[in-house]
Amino acid sequence: EVELLESGGGLAQPGGSLRLSCTASGFTFNIYTMSWVRQAPGKGLEWVSFVNPSGTTTYYIDSVKGRFSIYRDNSKNTVDLQMNSLRAEDTATYYCTRRTVDSGGMDVWGPGTTVTVSS
């Protein structure tokens, strides 16, 4: 079964750090672009970052550039999101997603992990 499972969410203080991890199973991980999408409480969906299949190309939404970094390990079928200098506005449920193999939409989503940034 094709599956993504996030971990690493929790409570962090403003200015602190968290590292989210996503473990993939049931598909050939190293041919897919992977991304993170978040949803703040009561808000809509917001794409955060993606990494290409080889891990050589990454993109970020402006609001996290310089603070977040996305990494993938194709030997372990994982994609991580390192989040530094956290702000209250980073509070959200974070979803790990897979892009379709033909570079379409995001066809597989994990259940999500919750990040709360608060003192």
Which chain residues interact with other proteins by CB under 8 A?
A: 35, 37, 44-47, 50, 59, 61-62, 95, 99-100, 103-107, 109-112
Question: 41 or 119: whose CB is closer to other proteins?
Answer: 41
Give the C-alpha separation, 43 to 118, whole Å.
18
Query: Whose Cβ is closer to other proteins: residue 45's or residue 88's?
Result: 45
Which of 94, 83, 88 lies closest to 117, judged by CA? Answer: 88
- Tell me what percent of the chain is helix, strand and coil, each rounded to the nearest 5: 10, 50, 40
Amino acid at position 12, single letter: A
- Cβ at position 87, least distance to other proteins in Å: 18
Q: Is 29 or 50 the residue whose CB approaches other proteins more closely?
A: 50
